[in-house]
Structure 1
Amino acid sequence: MDTFTRNYSIALAVIVLGLLALWITASWNPRVGELNEVLESDPKLADYVYDFRVVDYADGVATISTPRSFDVPAMRFLEIVKPELAGKAQDDPAMVAAQQNLIEHQKRAQTLILGKPDVERVDWQLDVQWLAEHGVQAPAR
């Protein structure tokens, strides 16, 4: 290998490693892991069909994943995790009970995270990866 090619390869490797280190440093947030431990250690949330996860934490705002939004209604999620609800009307007692159960678990996740002194607010982010894994295409935002 000639001198130019060797120096060029070394310089390119240094740049790539530098960018990789910068990306890892920017995306690493130990507080997210700590907040997720709070959710994982709760017995009620551990038994639920969906794992609520903190996906980001910055400046007192924790962002938690959710399987529902205005674009993907709760009914769609519930039909996936409880196939016996498929085709039922929104006001069917079983569907209403399942929606209420989802709401209670989502509120519990929010309450647990807001109970931490450094968390001032909770935002919700649609879990498009979970939905995609279950055959639901979430609208692009």
Structure 2
Amino acid sequence: MSNKLQALIVTALFLSLGLLWFLKQDPALNQLNATLKADPTLQAYPYAFHTLKIENGVATLTTPRSPEVSVLQFLQIAQPHLDTSNPDSPEMIAAQKALAAVQEQAAKLAKAQAGITAVAWEIDRSWYASHGLIVE
């Protein structure tokens, strides 16, 4: 096989993969992720919410909150300067309220998008794994 033919085959393969990737993109999902990323309130928080899927008007967003992981574990990772030994301290209560507020802001932004009527939450296992905590 000649070098030109090999180069043509490789180029065609890369173009096919690029086209396949482009066709699988969901514009509504990309738009919602861009909206979440651009929001100043969410930008300032140490966890980035993002959209996993949109189906039948329901946007599924990632969250660090879940019955599987205590909020204290999340705050130890996201805000290591906090003293998590006393969950009833004013600083811990404020940190928990701040997390609830940013999650509420993410949901509000999602519901403001055309065609989205509800938000579902899914624990962000990959975020926790990247911080050394495996969530089952």
TM-score relative to the length of structure 2: 0.79
- 1:84 aligns to what SS in structure 2? coil
Q: CA deviation at 1:72?
A: 0.7
* 1:103-125 deviation per Cα after TM superposition (whole angstroms, max 9, x unaligned): 00000000111112310110001
Give the one of 116, 119, 129 matched to 1:119: 116
- 2:104 aligns to what SS in structure 1? helix
Q: How many aligned positions are there?
A: 122
Q: 1:88 to 1:27 in 2, by over 3 A?
A: farther
| Matched residue, 1:98 | 95
* Structure exhibiting the larger radius of gyration computed from Cα positions: 1
Cα-Cα RMSD: 2.3
* 1:69-128 deviation per Cα after TM superposition (whole angstroms, max 9, x unaligned): 011121111011112335422211111111111000000000111112310110001000
Percent identical: 35
| Matched residue, 1:12 | none
- 1:125 aligns to what SS in structure 2? strand
Q: Is the 8 A contact 1:32 1:57 kept in 2?
A: yes
Unmatched 5+ stretches in structure 2: 1-15
- CA distance in 2 between counterparts of 1:123 and 1:46 reads 21
The one-letter code matched in structure 2 to 1:54 is T
TM-score relative to the length of structure 1: 0.77
Deviates more, 1:25-34 or 1:78-87: 25-34
Q: Does 1:79 align with 2:76?
A: yes
Q: 1:42 to 1:25 in 2, by over 3 A?
A: closer
* 1:38-72 deviation per Cα after TM superposition (whole angstroms, max 9, x unaligned): 11111111111011001111110100000120111
The one-letter code matched in structure 2 to 1:108 is Q
Deviates more, 1:115-124 or 1:81-90: 81-90
- CA distance in 1 between counterparts of 2:133 and 2:104 reads 24
Q: 1:137 to 1:86 in 2, by over 3 A?
A: farther
- 2:121 aligns to what SS in structure 1? strand
Give the one of 24, 29, 33 matched to 1:32: 29
Taking the TM superposition and a 5 Å limit, the aligned residue runs for 1:41-80 are: 41-80=38-77
Q: 1:90 to 1:60 in 2, by over 3 A?
A: same
- 2:81 aligns to what SS in structure 1? helix
Unmatched 5+ stretches in structure 1: 1-16
